[in-house]
Structure 1
C-alpha cells in the first residue's frame, strides 16, 4: 500500500481543518473526504474505497460509537474526542488509536505511524482471498489475477488459468484488492503487474485488451509513473 486513504468525520469545522493540515504533512496519508455530518460520510463510504477514518465520538446526528456499529469491521478508525471517558468503549470496536483533543501534531504523528504499521502488516499477510463461484469456495492468489470485469450483478475474476463468476460488485472488490490493482474503466479493474503494453485507448495484458475509460486515464498514467 503506497498511501493510506483517509476520511475525517467531525462536527467541528476547526477540528476538521486542523486534522486536514496534519494529514497534509504526512507523506503516506491521502485525504479523500471530510464531513461535519456523519450521515454524509456513510453515504460516501458506500461508494468509495477508503482505509482509515478519523472519527469524532460526540456528534449530534450520529455518535461515533453508533457510526462504527453501522460499518462494523469494514473500516479502521482513529477516534478523536474531548471526552476521555469514551476511550474504553471505543477500544471495544478494535480501533487503531484514540486521540484526546486538543490534538498535537506529535501525538497525531505517532498515531498514524501506528496505523501505517498495522496496514503494512496486513498487506504482507494479505496474499489471497476466497470467493464463492459455481457453488464452491475458491482460493485466489492476488498475483494470479489479470483483471476483474463487472457483469451486471456479478464480477468475472480472470486469472492466468481460470475465470470465476462471483455475485459481487466491482466497488466491493476494489476495496479488497492490494495497491497494485487499479480501476481503469467503469467495468474493469486490472493488475498493473500484468500489463504488457498501453496506448491511449487500451491496456494489453497476457493476451487480453482492456479498454481505458476517459475519466480513469489520468489516474492510470499517474500510477504507472
Structure 2
C-alpha cells in the first residue's frame, strides 16, 4: 500500500510534537504538514494532496468541527481533544477514530491501523460501491453504474446511468477512491469507466450513453495501456 499522507492540526505545540514523534515511528505514514493554525491547515488542504488529518476540535478562530464542515468529505479524520463531550458531535463527519488526550502511542497505533484498513478497503477493486455527499445527503453509488466523472471548478460531477451527483471534491481525490482496474483519467477534466466505452479513436472516447469525451495528449499513453490490460 502507498504511504498515507497526513497532516497535524492542533493549537498546542507540545501536542503537535508528540503526534509528530508518533507518526515518525509508523512506516506507512508520511507527515506532509503540521500547524497550530487551522486557517493555515485549511489553505494547505485545499491546495495540496492529503489523505488523513489529525485534528484537534477545540481551537481558536476555527474549530475542528467547523474545519470539517468547510472541507466536507475530501479527507478522513482522526480527532484529538482533551474534551470527551465533543466525540459524538464529530462522528457525523468522515471520522476514522477519536483520540482523547493525553494520547499514548499504543492508542495512537490502534487508531492508525483502523485508518490503514479503511484506506485499503477504499482501494480494493472488489468493493462494488462507495458513498458520496451531495445535496446534503449521503448517496450510495455503484461503481459499475458510473459513466464518467467530470471536474467542474471546486466540484466534480459523478454521472451514472440514471442520474448525476455534484460533489465538493477534486478529480485527483476521486482517482484514489475509484477502482484502478476499471477507471482511468483520459483528460485533465475527465475520468471514465472503461466498462462503459462504446468505441474510441486516438482523439476521443464515446461512452454507451453517446457522451463524447476528448482524450488529452498527456493521458493517451496510460489510457491505451489500461485498454490493453483490460482486453487480456
Q: CA deviation at 1:115?
A: 0.8
1:131 corresponds to 2:153: no
Q: Is the CA contact (8 Å cut-off) linking 2:53 and 2:76 kept in structure 1?
A: yes
CA–CA distance in structure 1, aligned partners of residues 221 and 111 of structure 2: 33
Q: 1:193 to 1:106 in 2, by over 3 A?
A: farther
Count how many residue pairs are aligned between Structure 1 and Structure 2: 174
Task: State the Cα distance separating 1:141 from its structure 2 match.
Answer: 6.1
CA contact (8 A) 2:147 2:193 kept: no
Distance (whole Å) between structure 2 residues aligned to residue 82 and residue 2 of structure 1: 31
- Using the TM superposition, give the Cα deviation of residue 94 of structure 1 relative to its aligned residue in structure 2, in angstroms: 3.9
In structure 2, the partner of 1:179 is none
Map 1:71-220 to 2 at 5 A: 71-124=71-124, 125=127, 128=143, 130-131=147-148, 137=159, 142-143=180-181, 148-150=186-188, 154-155=189-190, 162=200, 163=205, 165=213, 194=225
1:43-74 CA-to-partner distances (Å, cap 9, x unmatched) read 11112121110000011020011111111111
Q: For each residue in 1:140-169, what CA deviation from the matched residue of structure 2 results, as whole angstroms up to 9, or x when unmatched?
A: 96335565443xxx4476969643648xxx
Structure 1 SS opposite 2:66: helix
Gap runs ≥5 in structure 1: 167-186, 196-204, 207-225
Alpha-carbon deviations, 1:183-214, whole Å to 9, x = none? xxxx769859949xxxxxxxxx97xxxxxxxx
Paired with 1:188 and 1:114, the residues of 2 have a C-alpha distance of 34
Tell me if the contact between 2:80 and 2:99 (Cα under 8 Å) persists in the aligned partners. Answer: yes
Q: Aligned partners of 1:136 and 1:91: how far apart in 2? A: 25
Contact map agreement 2:148 2:192 (CA 8 A) in 1: no
- TM-score, length-scaled by structure 1: 0.64
2:167 corresponds in structure 1 to none
Which secondary structure does the structure 1 equivalent of 2:95 belong to?
A: coil
The answer to whether residue 32 in structure 2 is matched with residue 66 in structure 1 is: no
Whether the aligned pair in 2 keeps the contact of 1:10 and 1:59 (CA below 8 Å) is: yes
Aligned to 2:53: 53
Alpha-carbon RMSD across the aligned residues, in angstroms, is 3.5
Question: Do the aligned residues in 2 keep the contact of 1:145 with 1:191 (CA within 8 Å)?
Answer: no
Shift of 1:100: 0.8
Please state whether the residue corresponding to 2:40 is helix, strand or coil. helix
